[in-house]
């Protein structure tokens, strides 16, 4: 049990690295973009791109957990494992597929990891929206009054 728990924490750490790298990359790209914040469609386009990127990060993290389950024999095949991991990571928890008893604690760690990563994504999205709002309204803060996201 301790070995499996250590493996779960290692997967959690890997998800943090994936998420941190992905959001840092996105932030570097955002700083180079010029988005006219006074117009709806450029801002909406930016939010769509950010949403797609964040979902791709989460899908990669879900895939890491799924691959782990298949490689260690906890689940029979990759499609089932991907489904189980997506349901667990997002804390939907249908319960139609469950891990063997010896592996169940890992699914709890996966769910907690998903909660943390989704919260981090939400905070990132909020920070970008807030920055755009500050630029549009001229509210005090970094980049206030700037016509673009920077």
For residue 100, being part of any structural domain is answered with yes
SS3 call for 75 = coil
For residue 42, being part of any structural domain is answered with no
Mean pLDDT of the chain: 88
Q: How far apart are CA 57 and CA 95, in angstroms?
A: 24
**What domain range includes position 99?**
2-33+53-137
Kind and range of the H or E run holding 118: helix 104-137
Please report how many Cα atoms fall inside a 13 Å half-sphere around the Cα of residue 121, on the Cβ side: 24
Q: What is the pLDDT of residues 41-93, one digit of tens each?
A: 677 888 899 999 999 999 999 999 999 999 999 999 999 999 999 999 999 99
CATH number of the domain that residue 107 is part of: 1.10.287.70
Number of domains in the chain: 1
Contacts of 72 (CB under 8 A, 6+ apart): 7, 103
For residue 145, being part of any structural domain is answered with no
């Amino acid at each position: 049990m301790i070995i499996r728990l250590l493996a779960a924490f290692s997967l959690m750490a890997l998800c943090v690295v994936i998420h941190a790298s992905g959001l840092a990359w996105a932030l570097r790209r955002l700083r180079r973009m010029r988005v006219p914040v006074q117009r709806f469609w450029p801002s909406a386009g930016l939010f769509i791109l950010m949403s797609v990127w964040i979902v791709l990060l989460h899908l990669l993290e879900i895939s890491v957990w799924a691959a782990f389950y298949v490689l260690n024999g906890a689940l029979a095949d990759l499609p089932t494992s991907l489904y189980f991991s997506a349901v667990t990571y997002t804390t939907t928890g249908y319960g139609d597929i469950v891990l063997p008893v010896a592996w169940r604690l890992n699914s709890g760690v996966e769910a907690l990891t998903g909660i943390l990563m989704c919260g981090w994504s939400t905070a990132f999205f909020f920070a970008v929206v807030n920055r755009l709002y500050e630029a549009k309204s001229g509210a005090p803060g970094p980049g206030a009054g700037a016509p673009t996201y920077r």
